[in-house]
Amino acid sequence: MNDAVFEATLERVVAYCEETHTKQFCFAFHGGEPTLLPAERADRWCALATQRLQGVATPQFAIQTNAVKLRDSWIDVLQKWRFRVGVSLDGPKSINDRNRVDHRGNGTFDQVEGNIKRLIARGIPFGILSVIPLGADPLAVHNAYISLGCTGIGYILPHFTHETIHEALSKHGPTPCADFLLPIMDHWFYSGNERVMIREFDSLARLIMGGRSVVDAFGNDPFGYLFVESDGSFEGLDILRIVAASAYRTERNVFEAELQQLLNSEDLVAKSLRGDIPLPDDCAKCPEAKTCSGGYLPHRYSSDSSFNNPSVWCRDILKLFGHMRDLLDVSSSATEKLRNSISGVPK
């Protein structure tokens, strides 16, 4: 992304915050690999965003990085602007290095671990984002992440649609995500005060206690983000590319369209931003209809009925809710009462 695209984006953001009275706005750098951007440019953009949003909204900065090449100049930027740092990993060394290799074909885990130590030495907290490695030993994976010193972990349900899920289920059984996450959930619960934040568990607990999810895997809330590509085009949720390349694209860009114009259109991106994606028909009678709400949008897709399906991980999600309900001792009807008592949870 060049300066012109960022500056145009920033003008759209300022206008949006002013119009909607939004008081906090998060700029998340991701890619590809965002640390390939010169650190000096990132520093300049953060300063510019802070300056332009002064008196309008508080900017926050986040980055999702593979942490393979983390230059000192980038670490300076992360520290200076208090970035929320997410590091992508696929598991401990034996698993990660099968999938994540450098241009010479060597595993990247050792480099990532070294750079994580540099973050820690500078007092920069970081979370780990990991796609669930189906079939792996859950506590071995979890313990490896904890050992790295992260402050939080996100375990992403792998991205499949109803067109592509069959091989994974035949290889790993009917509920491989729950099989992986349930032992970790027990560990998380019984860790008490030593508990590391795990987004998915945090969200399950929040939903069961009448609140809202902080992840898209459950809850079917409006997507609270929009992507600006390096050429300035607006795009929606990039994971929708597992459905079709066109599903996440818009015909608009930062040089021509205000953010509000995007929200008012009728394409899939706008609907997902507004929260206009209805509950799948098959979920209507489910006891977790108002908590799970059909699961993550891309995971609902089939060529026959589009997004009108429960998540491919429906059985896993129900197991996760069931186990969390057991741990909390909160029934579905109790959740309903709690939800009704929390009338002011922000939309």
Provide the binding-site residues for another protein, judged by CB under 8 A: 23-24, 26, 28, 30, 60, 62, 64, 84, 86, 88, 92-94, 127, 129, 131, 137-140, 143-144, 147, 154, 156, 159, 183, 186-187, 189-190, 192-193, 199, 202, 205-206, 209-212, 214-217, 221, 223-225, 237-239, 327-330, 342, 344-346
Give the residue with the Cβ less far from another protein, 194 or 266: 194
Give the residue with the Cβ less far from another protein, 34 or 282: 34
CB of 94 to another protein, least distance (A): 6
Give the residue with the Cβ less far from another protein, 156 or 318: 156
Give the residue with the Cβ less far from another protein, 90 or 288: 90
Give the residue with the Cβ less far from another protein, 171 or 195: 195
CB of 195 to another protein, least distance (A): 8
CB of 304 to another protein, least distance (A): 25
CB of 300 to another protein, least distance (A): 15
CB of 205 to another protein, least distance (A): 5
Give the residue with the Cβ less far from another protein, 206 or 271: 206
How far is residue 115's CA from residue 224's CA, in Å, rounded to a whole number? 30
CB of 144 to another protein, least distance (A): 5
CB of 333 to another protein, least distance (A): 16
Kindly state the tokens that stand for 10: 């920033």
Give the residue with the Cβ less far from another protein, 50 or 305: 50
